[in-house]
Structures are given as structure tokens and as C-alpha cells.
Structure 1
Amino acid sequence: MAVAGAGLLYGQLHYEIPPEAKPVYGGVNIRAADLRDIDEIPLEQQLAKADATKAKGDKDVFTFFALTDIVISEPADNLPVVLGNLKKNNCTFIISLVDRDGRLMARTLGLPPGKYLPYITLIDQRMPYGEYDRMKLVVSAYDSDTLAYLGSQYTDFRLVIGIENEAGTATPGQ
């Protein structure tokens, strides 16, 4: 009985990052026009945002921040994640959004240090309206010079497509 309880607790506390969320990085980065300089956000605010992100995983390898509770009106809308790769990181990120079953819902190209990504886009822009509250935002880090994988972190992610009403349900946006 104790072994079964320990196994259940382990399953609740441990998240196995799916292989799809740790792709091989080939050195291709997000277009510069789609990125912002992280200096637009004061350093103290960057660090506070990183603490608030509550990431798990290889925290000794890199630091990042992101918004993790997003409401959009339509499935084709951009998800304003505002994900930042601090200048002190000597690595490039690839960001993946996965659903509760480990399916890839969004993926970026490389995000270099000293930049932040204002938004990501869903792969399936026809997702049904509703709340998706058991997703994971996975940030995988790669050496910017050798392209070697350095580690990953993940955080819980909640997405609502549609307008949330008082009852907590989502309806099509306006």
C-alpha cells in the first residue's frame, strides 16, 4: 500500500519532458523582427518575473521568465507569453508548449540570450474553445556556439480560448 502511494506521489511531483519538447537545435533563430531587447525590461523586474515563473528542472543551467496564464479570443490569436532569455544566460532557448498527453501544441526556433519573445502561435489554430489547464511550457537550452543541449526547465501553463465568464467557462470571443 505504501509503495502504491509513493508511486502516485512520484507521478504527481515528477514530470517527464516528452522528447518532442527537447528538439535538436540546428542554429536557426527566430527572426530579429519578432524579438525584443530584454533591456526594455529593468533587470530587477526580469529577476522578479523569473522567480514568479516557478519553473522546475535544470535551474542551475539558465534563468527565464514567461507568462503562464493566457486568455485569447480565438485559436488563431497569438499567445502573449513574453518569454525572456536573460543576458546572463550563455545559451539559446527553444520553447515548446505541450498538452497533458505530451502532444506538441507550439514550438519556436532559437531565442538568443538578451532577447524576449512577445508571443508564440499554436500549431493547430482550430482548437476548440475552452480551458486547457494541464499544459506545460518547456524551455530547452542549447550552447549558442556548439549547439549542444544543456538542459530543460518546465512550468505549468493554462490557456483559455474564448472569453471566460463568471462560471469559469469559455465562450467564443467577440
Structure 2
Amino acid sequence: MVTTSELRVRTVIELVANGAYYTRMYSQFIGPIDIAIKAICKNYTYSELYEIAALCNVLRCNIRSIYPKIDFREDMEILNNIFKPISTIIASCGITIFWSHVLNETDVRAQNNMTWSPNHFVPLMSPPAFDDSDNISDQSVSKVVTPEKRTFKNNAPM
């Protein structure tokens, strides 16, 4: 099992080894990479854009980042992105993360000069997929059905 400390160290190594690439791709959004690397070295610090971009290379998987449209500015669009490993690496999996905060929006704004900002991200999981070849009784587990968006006008379906 890979620990968070090991992922942190591997991410730092990735950022140092490919620093020119990450600087070229992301420094205009979040500043100098050397400052970010120093911050990453401290345990229990929050991950930011550099870490997410480097982590997809460490894990060799695509990372889809979803940032809620709360106090959203155009420069934040980079956070609603799919980060892919450097082109020579073929992604073997995908992870989806959602930026969040442990407090509700009102409390966050009260503590943060009336603006909302996340303090962590959570993984978004796909619902389990079952097929007829599974050895699961239809009586014990119902099939997962994706809800459909329906348009209503004056409370009547269109």
C-alpha cells in the first residue's frame, strides 16, 4: 500500500525532474514552482494545481478535477480540467476529484473575507456497474439506473 507520505515524495521528485515542463504549463496560473515544491515538502499541507498535475504522472492516470462554480473566476477554469500524464506515458486509469470545504458556504465566507475557497478535495466515485454475468441475485441488489434530466414547464413534463 502506498502511503500519503510516499505519494508526496514521489510528487516532489516528479516536479523537480520535470520542473521546466510544469513551469511552462502552470506557472502563469499559480506562481513559481520552487515555492510550491517547498510547501509540498511540509506534511499536512493542501494540494494545489502543481501537485495534481504531477500526481497524474506519478500514478500514471488521468485526474479529472471538478471545481464548483462558487465565486468562480475565468482564471479558475484550469481547475475544471482533465490532467493527463506527459505524452510518453499511457494512462492506465482515471480519478475524479471534487474541490470542497469542510464547512458550509456561509461559514466559509464569514471566515474568508466573504469569499469561498476549498480546503480539500474528495474523490467522486462512479456507481457500481452490474451485468447479467455477475453472480448476484436480482432480489438482493437492484440495478443502478442513471437518472435522466427532464425539462418541466409549469410543473408539466415537456
| Bigger share in helix | 2
Would you tell me which structure has more strand in proportion to its own residues?
1
TM-score range, shorter chain: under 0.3
Decide which structure has the larger Cα Rg and report it.
2
Q: Tell me: higher relative CO, structure 1 or 2? Use CA pairs within 8 A at least 6 residues apart.
A: 1
